[in-house]
Chain A
Amino acid sequence: MTALPDRVDKKLGLVIDLDTCVGCHACVVACKGWNDQGYGAPLSDQDPCGAAPSGTFLNRVHSYEITPPDAPAQIVHFPKSCLHCDNAPCVTVCPTGASYKRREDGIVLVNESACIGCGLCAWACPYGAREMDADAGVMKKCTLCVDRIYNETLPEEDRQPACVRTCPAGARHFGDLSDPASDVSQLVAARGGLDLMPEMGTKPVNAYLPPRPKTDAAPEFDVLAPFLEPVAEDAGGFLGWLDRTLSKMPG
């Protein structure tokens, strides 16, 4: 089972638009919410209301700052979940066959009833996409909401991953990246979609659309500045006398 399939019929995955993401973390909440109630062990939290809260998440949003040499710094919000790699190193290291990549759609999954919780797959993943659940002792990862996307009891518009369905900015897109005619493939082609850590040779399916260059960035400008100009310092007449007199007073 832990051999990778020699080919996949589809490459289902996500395209994440870093230009559009506003960093609201709604995808994080939707992911945790959906994956707490159906497929596999729920994503547990430890000390959730205490001093050192910690928990299992399948999707986390980082924030990075880019400082160009000649323009103001820019913040980029960066959601990260399993990239469902073509050449998934997490699958082949698994000693039990719990980790596998599906031939029919390329989704990488964990059979939790066969997982011994050794953690080697998490070590093999460069992206930090796998997290061991501290309660269940099994490895958790993004399932691409496999229990939503084929679920005919859901209305059709809900048959997509929870993170995509909930994203208020439309920064997340779901589709078949092996089909050059699909919306996601065309988006990748039009916007120059990128692989994360290509030097690892993992060939991720998920792609990231880089932020568009900020060509219209105005120079730094303070709206209050005109109102804070120093008042005249060489005042004469009555005001000048008052200023001099008040300055001489002690205190």
Chain B
Amino acid sequence: MHPAPSLILFTTLSGLGFGLLAFLCLGLPDARGLTAVLWFGAGFALAGGGLLASTTHLGNPQRAWRAFTQWQTSWLSREAWLSVIALAAAGGVALGRVFFDLPMTGLGTVAAGLALATVASTAMIYAQLKTVPRWNHWTTPALFLSMALAGGALLAGQMTVAPVLLLLAGAVQLLAWRTGDGRFAARGHGLTSATRLEGGKVRSFAPPHTGSNYLLREMVHQVGRRHARKLRSLALIFGFLAPALLCLTAHPLALALAVLSHAGGAMAGRWLFFAEAEHVVGLYYGYHEAGAR
């Protein structure tokens, strides 16, 4: 799949933002007054900024409000609702903490749950697609949720739980790669099932047009795969291992470095999430067949 910068930014930033908001709403840390303004401001900026980034990949963003209408069937619509409700609930918690010095425990717990539900609904947009076997698995929501929790704990300065959550997210990432690599072939997708042609070896002889098209640009991303192995290592090191180690030092500068390292590693991992995902439509163009390009 095409690794669109808007989608990479959206999923990583909003994941971090909603993760941070979840911890803040639970009172970890229980900031009040001006400190709460800064904490919640960072959470809203990340989550809201991510959501805004996502609208830039729309063909007609002026009609984006229509995405709230189909929550009964569409995960994208559910995500739209959940994100707005979660932000509103977190806003309520922030108001109570900033202006009234209230703990807001009840609403805080609900808001934290809604923030994580938003992350899960984002993941389900990808996990529901049977056409992309690498995504169509429980490891996709597990990865998005564990990343949001790890990044949120790190941003919220939860130095005891953050290293554990970071290593857990790293393990989920490793599992997602390991199980995802063979899933396309394991599900029996191939040029034979795509064309139902029989009687011998089938191969793509000529594409429909000599030029490229929307389908190839959007769903048959091929560039950079050869660096995938190196990028995976870098994403693991910078995204999870380095920040986990830096957390143990408990130095403020180390914490800032850990956040930067995690964000960079997470973006590399999210780039791979898209770039390595094979869509079955590529079969019709001669890609993804076992032993083919």
The residues of A with any CB-CB pair to B shorter than 8 Å are 1-3, 18, 28, 52-57, 60-69, 71, 73-76, 78, 80, 89, 92-98, 114-120, 122-128, 131-134, 136-138, 194-201, 208, 210-211, 213
Q: Complex formed: what's the CA distance from A206 to B69 in Å?
A: 30
Q: A95-B80, A199-B193 are in contact. Are A64 and B70 (CB under 8 A)?
A: no
Q: A116-B67, A123-B279, A138-B60 are in contact. Are A53 and B197 (CB under 8 A)?
A: no
List 17 A-B residue pairs with CB atoms under 8 Å apart, sorted by A's residue number: A54-B212, A57-B213, A62-B284, A66-B197, A68-B199, A76-B195, A93-B128, A95-B70, A95-B77, A97-B70, A122-B214, A124-B131, A132-B59, A137-B60, A201-B130, A208-B196, A210-B197
Q: A64-B195, A128-B281 are in contact. Are A96 and B205 (CB under 8 A)?
A: no
What is the total number of residues of chain B having a CB less than 8 Å from a CB of chain A?
58
Out of B57, B129, B197, B281, name the residue touching A64 (CB < 8 Å).
B197
From residue A150, how far is it (CB to closest CB) to chain B in Å? 27
Name the B residues within 8 Å of A78 (CB-CB). 195
A136 x B59 contact (CB < 8 A): yes
A64 x B213 contact (CB < 8 A): no
Name the A residues within 8 Å of B168 (CB-CB). none
Name the A residues within 8 Å of B130 (CB-CB). 89, 126, 200-201
Q: A62-B207, A66-B202, A122-B219 are in contact. Are A116 and B73 (CB under 8 A)?
A: no
Out of B132, B189, B219, B279, name the residue touching A197 (CB < 8 Å).
B189
A116 x B63 contact (CB < 8 A): yes
Q: Does B174 interact with chain A (Cβ within 8 Å)?
A: no
Out of B64, B66, B204, B280, name the residue touching A62 (CB < 8 Å).
B204
Name the B residues within 8 Å of A71 (CB-CB). 200
Residue of A nearest to B55 (CB): A116
Out of B67, B193, B206, name the residue touching A63 (CB < 8 Å).
B206
B212 x A52 contact (CB < 8 A): yes
Residue of A nearest to B209 (CB): A60
B284 x A67 contact (CB < 8 A): no
Out of B199, B281, B285, name the residue touching A125 (CB < 8 Å).
B281
Out of A62, A95, A97, name the residue touching B206 (CB < 8 Å).
A62
Q: Does B245 interact with chain A (Cβ within 8 Å)?
A: no
From residue A96, how far is it (CB to closest CB) to chain B in Å? 4
Name the B residues within 8 Å of A115 (CB-CB). 59-60, 63
Q: Tell me the B67-98 residues at the A interface (CB within 8 Å).
A: 67, 69-70, 72-77, 80
B74 x A2 contact (CB < 8 A): yes
Name the B residues within 8 Å of A211 (CB-CB). 197
B208 x A62 contact (CB < 8 A): yes
Name the B residues within 8 Å of A61 (CB-CB). 208
Name the A residues within 8 Å of B194 (CB-CB). 196-197
Q: A94-B70, A123-B279, A137-B60 are in contact. Are A198 and B76 (CB under 8 A)?
A: no
B201 x A64 contact (CB < 8 A): no
B284 x A123 contact (CB < 8 A): no
Name the A residues within 8 Å of B59 (CB-CB). 115-119, 132-133, 136-138
Residue of B nearest to A134 (CB): B214
Name the B residues within 8 Å of A67 (CB-CB). 200-201, 203
Name the A residues within 8 Å of B284 (CB-CB). 62, 80, 127-128
A126 x B281 contact (CB < 8 A): yes
Residue of B nearest to A56 (CB): B214
Q: Does B38 interact with chain A (Cβ within 8 Å)?
A: no
From residue A128, how far is it (CB to closest CB) to chain B in Å? 4
Out of A136, A198, A210, name the residue touching B198 (CB < 8 Å).
A210
Q: Complex formed: what's the CA distance from A3 to B77 in Å?
A: 13
Name the A residues within 8 Å of B57 (CB-CB). 118-119
